[in-house]
A = this chain, B = another copy of it.
């Protein structure tokens, strides 16, 4: 497994040109979707929603608000990462109900956990930075999506160069409590994509990993 992981990490790059003819299969997509859904998040709260935009006219609109990057329209699956703009008591309650259901424990037994979350993300200091907190969580899932894809020899291009407010309008997110933070184009590289040959640029290990 170690060498397969190393190979995938080296093989991955931010695709510039996707092959419009090659689509991710339904079976492969399920694994990618599960890697988003099963990603960890703070408290397990999953303050996210992933919107997979497959409609060509929606894609065209989004591309206009993404510096006209061709990946938006040319990839197989276009995943928009959206996150909670604030966390409410209902958000926490929904999660508590899910824990209770999945683990078969009474909700009352989760009161301590419930109150801890309320005291942090709803009413505590974290509530003031909740947008950024939620975005951080979504980027864990973002990482899971890209690594999973690379292991499956499926390409991706992470996209932060987009207008979040325009995305929110196009995707009708206003008033839903979710807002766009980034997107990920998923598919297969075009054989002419020169970026595939460019050497990966990373700082040396000793510059970014320090042992104390």
A191 at the interface (CB under 8 A from B): no
Whether A5 pairs with B212 at a CB distance below 8 angstroms is no
| Binary CB contact string for chain A from 120 to 162 against chain B (1 if under 8 A, 0 otherwise) | 0000000001001001110111111011100110000010100
Choose from B12, B44, B52 the contact partner of A201 (Cβ within 8 Å).
Answer: B44
A9-B34, A171-B212 known; A158+B40 contact, CB < 8 A: yes
| Binary CB contact string for chain A from 177 to 212 against chain B (1 if under 8 A, 0 otherwise) | 000011000000000000000111111010111111
Main secondary structure of the interface of A (DSSP, over half): helix
Once bound together, how far apart are the Cα atoms of A31 and B209, in whole Å?
13
Q: Which of A67-113 contact B (CB under 8 A)?
A: 94-95, 98-99, 102-103
A53 at the interface (CB under 8 A from B): yes
B residues in contact with A152, CB < 8 Å: 1-2, 5
Measured between C-beta atoms, what is the minimum distance from A176 to chain B in Å? Answer: 11
B residues in contact with A139, CB < 8 Å: 136-137, 139-140, 142-143
The 9 closest A-B pairs by CB, nearest first: A143-B143, A139-B139, A140-B143, A132-B132, A9-B38, A136-B139, A102-B201, A52-B211, A147-B147
* 26 sampled A-B residue pairs with Cβ under 8 A: A2-B28, A2-B152, A5-B31, A5-B35, A5-B148, A5-B151, A5-B152, A6-B34, A9-B35, A9-B144, A14-B40, A36-B209, A37-B203, A38-B202, A42-B158, A46-B203, A48-B208, A49-B209, A50-B210, A52-B210, A52-B211, A95-B201, A98-B202, A140-B143, A143-B147, A151-B151
